[in-house]
Amino acid sequence: MIAEEQILADLTGPQREAVTHMEGPLLVLAGAGSGKTRVITRRIGYLISQGVDPSTIVAITFTNKAAAEMAQRVHQFLDSESGFGPAISTFHKFCVQLLRMYGKTIGLESNFTIFDTSDTGKLIKTACGDVGALPAGMTVGKVEGVISRAKSQMVRPDELSSKLDLPQYLVPALSRIYARYEDMLRENKALDFDDLLLKTLDLLNEPFARDAIHRRYQYLLVDEYQDTNRVQYLLAKGFSAHTRNFCATGDPDQSIYGWRGAEIGNILDFEKDFPDAKVVYLENNYRSTNHILNAADSLIKNNKQRKDKKLISVLGQGEKLKIHSCEDENDEARQVVELIRQAKLKGRAYSQIAVMCRVNSLFRTVEQTLRDNGIPYQLARGVSFFQRKEIRDLMSYLRVIANPADTVGLERIINMPTRGIGAQAQAVLKDYARTQGVIFYEAVLNADRIPSLGKSQVNVIRFAEMMERLRKTVANGVTMEELVRQTIDASSLRNYYQKRSEKDNRPDELSPVANLEEFVGTAQNYDREAPDGSLTDFIAQLSLVNDIDAVEDDSDRVVLLTMHAAKGLEFEQVVIIAVEEEILPHAMCLGNDNQIEEERRLLFVGITRAKRELHLCFSHHRSTRGSYRQNFPSRFLKEIDPQSVEGMDVSELTRPTRVSQFVISPRKSADTEAVTALPARPKCQYRPGQRVYHQKFGYGVIQEVYLSGTNYNASIQFNIAGLKKLVLGIAPLHIVQS
């Protein structure tokens, strides 16, 4: 065991106070870079030094990467061979472990499959079809949104109308789809991401499981508490109900996942939940220089409904940040390359430079330009590998082997690669399954008894034999590497993609076959790291991989990542691109003040990742999905204290891009004369071709202006919202100057 002094070394008074707090609820409320994560890590060490059994400690982080880093740091606080260490993981992963262990008590088999959004999307689509035509104005995507919102707020299908603010006429269809969706999950023996949390909550309501979990875990620590959702909040309370040893850390200004149900209220109401909670504030920042902090602070001050925080850097003033005005995305990418070159000349490592933006798609040009200039980089998109078609195919085989009830997976692979089991044959199988009341896989196994399969019958039988052979292999015990190799060959996936690559004549590194090989490597890693793992566990690990988890720390490459993925990280130098209206804040968020505030927090998070040097870029033009468009600097740039900005005439940003609003008085324009010759009429400033900004619909171009009754109306093509007809005196419109 390590000496207490070492654990408490390099901590400020308040940090130490939090670290040495033993029993009872504790909240560490502090700004960016103030050492919250360090507090959690040291506190785990301190608890252990005070004789707490490490295996009774649970620490929840936001990402697997953060968990791995914390585990590594905590490792030094442990006796070399002292049994189990603390559980350090994300909410989702921790829940999966508990469900595998205790799921039986709530009727959950331990080989359940985790469905990702693409799987659940398929289910919801089918569910929509089953239920009949969708109500007007509803799309599958919107239904998905409603269901996911309902689940994260723990609203059941029959409670939609009372608990969710939905138009009444949509409710019957939606609750039927939702109920059907839940049934299908059960049929597939699958859980979606929300279920992982919800079912664990069920565990905590089941005496046997609850007691076992409570006996095992005595101390709970949750990092990034500001981004927990309702279910996670209830889980945290449930896990710690017996001891009330619950330590939460977070920063309300860094809450950026409201869009998927995170409730900032969890952290704001902590003291109400636990009136006896000890609250520690940290006011020193050890990460960034004062100019960077000041920029961040001046920005975030524009959010209403927040408590102001004091945060002082211990690193001095530092350099001012720079705002770069670029012509278009190519120019922007060139400037980024130039900044990286200069940094490299100054002796900065590539890996200490991050390029961030709001949406991954904006990295295309930057990536190309970095490649062209020989600058090494890595894109933080771990999931993209697992979303490749060939990898999803392979994973689907593994999923069905582990859980034959996984019909979504089975439907994907039954004719992939094509093996003569077409739509017709599949319909016959499905029909058989339905009439016999068995799962789809069972129908496949019974193919020899289904003559109506016709010519396909023999193909189905052969497929069934192949799958059963693989299943037997697993039952007899096999490494994941071996299983993956066998699956790739037995399924003919390798053959199929090999042939296709030959035809397409693509460069090798990106080829599907190479990806399949890489997946073998993934399996090898798993075998090495989890010698007594299982197929189910292997698949689950992969289902919970996160973008940022795949970023390699030990390679000297520039990191490209979204600001969401940057949560909790830090870099010497940060370059944020496309700080433009309709990108940041994103077009989808315009017109909703809460969402705009979250966008502001997002930029705040991006800015506060920088230790010493910060650059913000915007482009005047950008081509998005084919068309070349004019863009405007983000409103957020104007909010940053000019005192901390260098190198650019900040007034260029404050120069109004929007002409102030005017209203046509309906009375005065009350003539019936048709008005098509618009320029002649001084009463109406709007003309076809003008760019306008609408509070709700965002930016658009006026197509036509006409008089209707006593009002001028206009038809406006909005970039996002599409063509709308609006009454000019009433609609909240601004003219935008180009």
Ligand X SMILES: Nc1ncnc2c1ncn2[C@@H]1O[C@H](COP(=O)(O)OP(=O)(O)OP(=O)(O)O)[C@@H](O)[C@H]1O
Partner DNA sequence: CAAGCCATGGTTTTT
Partner DNA sequence: CCATGGCTTG
Task: Cite the active site residues.
Answer: 36-37, 223-224, 254, 609
Among 18, 25, 36, 67, contact with ligand X (rule: CB under 6 A): 36
Q: Which parts of 592-611 interact with ligand X (CB under 6 A)?
A: 608
- For residue 86, give the amino acid letter: P
Among 51, 507, 626, 689, contact with DNA (rule: CB under 7 A): 626
Does residue 15 contact residue 282 with C-beta atoms inside 8 Å? Answer: yes
Question: Would you put residue 477 in left (φ > 0), alpha (ψ -120 to 50) or beta?
Answer: left
Closest CB to ligand X among 248 and 736?
A: 248
Task: Tell me how far, at minimum, the Cβ of 312 lies from DNA, in Å.
Answer: 30
What is the Cα–Cα distance from 434 to 412, expressed in whole angstroms?
19
Specify the stretch interacting with ligand X by CB under 6 A; choose among 26-34, 56-64, 449-457, 719-727.
26-34
Task: Tell me how far, at minimum, the Cβ of 249 lies from ligand X, in Å.
Answer: 7
Q: Is 728 in the site for DNA (CB under 7 A)?
A: no
Task: Tell me how far, at minimum, the Cβ of 565 lies from DNA, in Å.
Answer: 5
What is the Cα–Cα distance from 143 to 148, expressed in whole angstroms?
9
Q: Which parts of 348-367 interact with DNA (CB under 7 A)?
A: 358-361
Q: Is 299 in the site for ligand X (CB under 6 A)?
A: no
Cis peptide before 585 (omega within 30 of 0): yes
13 binds, among ligand X, DNA, none (CB under 5 to 8 A by kind): none
Hey, which residues does 736 pair with through a beta bridge? Answer: 658, 691
426 contacts: CB under 8 Å, gap ≥ 6: 411, 414, 415
Does residue 45 contact residue 2 with C-beta atoms inside 8 Å? Answer: yes
What is the Cα–Cα distance from 21 to 247, expressed in whole angstroms?
9
What is the Cα–Cα distance from 491 to 306, expressed in whole angstroms?
56
The two three-digit tokens of residue 221, written as one number: 């620590």
Q: Is 136 in the site for DNA (CB under 7 A)?
A: no
Burial 188-224 (b: 16+ CB within 10 A, else e): bbbbbbbbbbbbbebbbeeeebbebbbeebbbbbbbb
Closest CB to ligand X among 409 and 606?
A: 606
15 binds, among ligand X, DNA, none (CB under 5 to 8 A by kind): ligand X
Task: Tell me how far, at minimum, the Cβ of 591 lies from ligand X, in Å.
Answer: 29
Contact code string over 421-460 relative to DNA, x by CB under 7 A: xxxxx-----------------------------xx----
Q: Is 134 in the site for DNA (CB under 7 A)?
A: no
Q: Of 60, 128, 129, 114, which is closest to residue 88 (Cα–Cα)?
A: 60
Specify the stretch interacting with ligand X by CB under 6 A; choose among 27-35, 326-334, 369-377, 476-484.
27-35
Q: Is 32 in the site for ligand X (CB under 6 A)?
A: yes
Q: Is 35 in the site for ligand X (CB under 6 A)?
A: yes
What is the Cα–Cα distance from 2 to 11, expressed in whole angstroms?
16
615 binds, among DNA, ligand X, none (CB under 5 to 8 A by kind): none
Closest CB to DNA among 91 and 538?
A: 91
Does residue 248 contact residue 76 with C-beta atoms inside 8 Å? Answer: no
10 binds, among DNA, ligand X, none (CB under 5 to 8 A by kind): ligand X
43, 272, 562 from 21: Cα distances, Å: 8, 19, 35
Hey, which residues does 250 pair with through a beta bridge? Answer: 29
The two three-digit tokens of residue 200, written as one number: 């664990």
The DSSP code for 681 is: -
Q: Of 661, 671, 664, which is closest to residue 710 (Cα–Cα)?
A: 671
Q: Which parts of 223-252 interact with ligand X (CB under 6 A)?
A: 251
What is the Cα–Cα distance from 660 to 683, expressed in whole angstroms?
15
Task: Tell me how far, at minimum, the Cβ of 86 lies from ligand X, in Å.
Answer: 18
287 binds, among ligand X, DNA, none (CB under 5 to 8 A by kind): ligand X
35 binds, among ligand X, DNA, none (CB under 5 to 8 A by kind): ligand X
**Positions that interact with ligand X (CB under 6 A):** 10-12, 15, 30, 32-38, 251, 254, 286-287, 568, 570, 608
**Positions that interact with DNA (CB under 7 A):** 63, 90-92, 116-117, 125, 139, 141, 193-194, 259-260, 358-361, 383, 415, 418-425, 455-456, 503, 544, 546-548, 562, 564-565, 586, 588-589, 625-626, 720, 722
